[in-house]
Structure 1
Amino acid sequence: MSVPDLHEPLKFAYWVPNVSGGLVTSDIEQRTDWGYEYNKQLAVLAENNGFEYALTQVRYTASYGAAYQHESTGFSLALLLATQRLKVIAAIHPGLWHPGVLAKFVASADVISGGRAAINVVSGWFKDEFTKLGEPWLEHDERYRRTEEFITAVRELWTNDHAEFGGDFYRIHDFDIKPKPEVSPGRPHPEIFQGGNSTAARKVAGRVSDWYFSNGKDYDGFTEQVEDVRAIANGRTVRFGLNGFVIARESAAEAEAVFREIIEKADRPAVEGFRSAVAQAGKSTADNKGMWADSEFKDLVQYNDGFRTQLIGTPEHIADRAIEYKKRGANLLLLGFLHYLEDVEYFGKNVLPVIREKERELAELSA
């Protein structure tokens, strides 16, 4: 396995709760709100508690416990305007956006925010979001082929005054976007994140993405993805983010009790509906490596497999796992919480200092 830079601090992002229902599909109490005022308060709290990024979810219509949802790009811009340092990643779907229109919107958001905008290009799993709008639904690998073209076209539009691109899904000729996004050292354009577990997703990440997001994984599962994407990248720099759901409590028993309650109070019809909808995402791939292909019921209660990362326990336990994932290539942990305001502040005050101390120890050992 190639050796990651152990001297670079882990970065932290949080899932923006811009859709109703919280981050677990359960009837357990979730002191989290999908509205703007709550999210504005949360964004300021997060950037003051060690979070560098926020990821705004994309759902266009009601589904599986998310009856209400704010559109991701507009909501991201609002959060950028409410904060000073936080970088906000807007999840977007190729097929529902044209790359030229999306590139123009994000360029403006980036200039307005002083270079803090980013995108997460989501190939899509929810068929109804396309077909009920009269848009074609592509099969799994075709969706990722479109994603690769989309990312390539957006980067071309952001970096060239006479953008040119010719593909099967998008064609751009001599198109100039001004203002261009902010440019800074190591950042020639807004960061491009992209996820997915499948072989098709990994190939796209290795070839064109800046960041690869993994669903929640145990150590070996994450390692396998990192090594696969790095091999495809063949020397090109790709950074890695890992999804996890945090239940940090003073004792392991207290944290485990919260986890058990989440599962016991799971909204079974909603979870089963989600399982049915996402089956195409994983089972349709020839090698069965797609998203949610091996997810069990309890995994799907947190809809990005966040429990599988096992960030459930004391601050010490969570810090140990974070450090092990860092050793295996993680540059960023994307986190969800039950009670966002309380839990984000607890993480910043009680978990993050332990992680930073363990990082210092790790850096000294590797020096």
Structure 2
Amino acid sequence: MSKDNNIVFAYWVPNVSGGLVVSQIEQRTDWSYDYNVRLAQTAEKAGFDYALTQIRFTAGYNAENQHESVSFSHGILAKTERLKVIAAILPGPWKPALAAKQLATIDHLSNGRIAINVVSGWFRGEFDAIGEEWPEHDERYARSEEFIRSLKGVWTQDNFSFDGKYYQFKDYTLSPKPVQKPHIEIFQGGSSRAARDMASRVSDWYFTNGNTPEELKKQIDDIREKAKANNHQVKIGVNAFVIARDTEEEAQAVLQEIIDKAHVEAVNAFGDATREAGAASVEGEGNWAKSTFEDLVQYNDGFRTNLIGTPQQIAERIVELKKVGVDLILSGFLHFIEEVEYFGEKVLPLVRELEAEQQLQLQAKSA
């Protein structure tokens, strides 16, 4: 079976404190650089392809300390050999000229292993705190689209000119350009219409919150239909909080303990902020419009993807996600290093076996 057909795996880098759940449960996860280097090396050996750093400027929602995403990504790249690290960047604090040059340099230093996640922003309090403009919901995506078009132009053209509402370039040539061709991979997130429309025009990858295969298929079909009309292709990544244990009972018990020990005040504050952001969209809802309190205990609805159970159950569910068009699983864990290692040993081989069986079935049908 061709590896090109395999679903790929990424993990959230815990470069902010508090782990990946807003809960007071014990977590053997640390936000320090040393811990993250060991985690990245473990993930690389386990078969993960990508790592995604988080972008935060202020404390809140159980994340009291935050390392800056781009420099932290570079630090991880320096200690790994194969892993590609996706650095999160916010248009506003970052300007495309600086981001383009910064990332091109890191691309050379890492031999083509940096990527970018363009985060349009959902937390107004953070922007207000650092004195940054806070455009309305759809305007934030319009700005992000200009940001991405600027990056692509700078990375692929000499004498690049661009006259946008937010960014302008005049006969600008970046040298050296990135190692990766045609350009550094560009990821983005969001579940609103504006986010999906932007992805269908300019992004290489689209991250969506956790959800059921049925609900994900609706989003994926919409994005891909629009992308086809735009002569564009976009791959899909879905968020999932993974709880893999030897028995289903063990896995469900861990999930229940996380929820039972939720930091109620922090979860509710997070919910209020996300609802405020979503209400500003044209359709009046955003990423977390249908999220329950329990869903919000994991920032990006990771429990809803239901990668919770035995290795066999999880592998089967991953293949079901692949069937509806998911190309990448963006995973979070409670105790990162040990659980990433377990995932690589117990879950990933089963996924590859199921993918190979699926491929043989497809070949038999077409023969």
Length-normalised TM-score, structure 2 = 0.96
Match for residue 362 of structure 2 among 339, 345, 366: 366
**Contact 1:6 1:362 (8 Å CA) reproduced:** no
**Given the alignment of the two structures, is residue 254 of structure 1 paired with residue 269 of structure 2, yes or no?**
no
Among 275, 278, 290, the residue aligned to 2:274: 278
Secondary structure at the residue paired with 1:48? helix
Question: Partner amino acid for 2:174?
Answer: I
Q: How does 1:170-319 map to 2 (within 5 A)?
A: 170-183=167-180, 187-234=181-228, 235-319=231-315
Check whether the contact 1:212–1:240 (CA below 8 A) recurs between aligned residues: yes
> For 1:142, which of 136, 139, 142 is the aligned residue?
139
Offset of 1:160 from its aligned partner? 0.8
Q: Quote the Cα distance in structure 1 between the aligned partners of 2:226 and 2:36.
A: 37
1:242–1:330 contact (8 Å) kept in structure 2: yes
The Cα of 1:15 is off from its aligned counterpart by 0.1
Following the alignment from structure 2 to structure 1, what is the Cα–Cα distance between the partners of residues 78 and 106? Answer: 9
Which amino acid is the alignment partner of residue 189 of structure 1? H
Please tell me whether residue 119 in structure 1 is matched to residue 116 in structure 2.
Answer: yes
Asked if structure 2 preserves the Cα contact closer than 8 Å seen for 1:198 and 1:288, the reply is no
The amino acid across from 1:63 in the alignment is: G
Aligned residue in 2 for 1:102:
99
Structure 1: stretches of 5+ with no match in the other structure: none
* Stretches (4+) displaced over 6 A: none
Name the SS for the 2:78 alignment partner. Answer: helix
Secondary structure of the 2:142 match is: helix
SS of alignment partner, residue 364 of structure 1: helix
Alpha-carbon separation, structure 2, partners of 1:349 and 1:72: 29
Match of 1:332 among 328, 333, 341: 328
CA distance in 2, matches of 1:149, 1:286: 20
Is contact 2:210–2:240 with CA below 8 Å preserved after alignment? yes
Sequence identity of aligned pairs in percent? 55
Q: CA deviation at 1:176?
A: 1.4
Whether 1:129 aligns to 2:126 is yes
Q: Aligned-pair RMSD on alpha carbons?
A: 1.2
Cα distance in 2 for residues equivalent to 1:245 and 1:169: 36
Q: Which whole-Å CA distance do the structure 2 matches of 1:158 and 1:102 have between them? A: 11
> Contact conserved, 1:7 with 1:363, CA < 8 A, in 2?
no
Counterpart CA distance in 1 for 2:185 and 2:17 is 27
How many residues are paired up?
A: 360
Question: Is 2:352 the counterpart of 1:356?
Answer: yes
Runs (5+) with no aligned partner, structure 2: none
Aligned to 1:14: 11
2:90 maps to what in 1? 93
Partner of 2:62, secondary structure, is coil
Distance 2:300 2:277 in 1: 13
The one-letter code sitting in structure 1 at the alignment partner of 2:210 is: G
Q: In the alignment, is residue 167 of structure 1 matched against residue 161 of structure 2?
A: no
TM-score normalised by L of structure 1: 0.96
> Which amino acid counterpart does residue 209 of structure 2 have in structure 1?
N
Whole-Å Cα distance in 2 between the matches of residues 239 and 203 of structure 1? 14
Return the offset for 1:161: 1.6
Q: Alpha-carbon deviations, 1:129-184, whole Å to 9, x = none?
A: 2111111111111100101100000110111121111110000111111111013x
CA contact (8 A) 1:196 1:291 kept: yes
Question: Following TM superposition, by how much is the alpha carbon of 1:282 offset from its aligned partner in structure 2, in angstroms?
Answer: 2.1
Contact 2:7 2:326 in 1 (8 A): yes
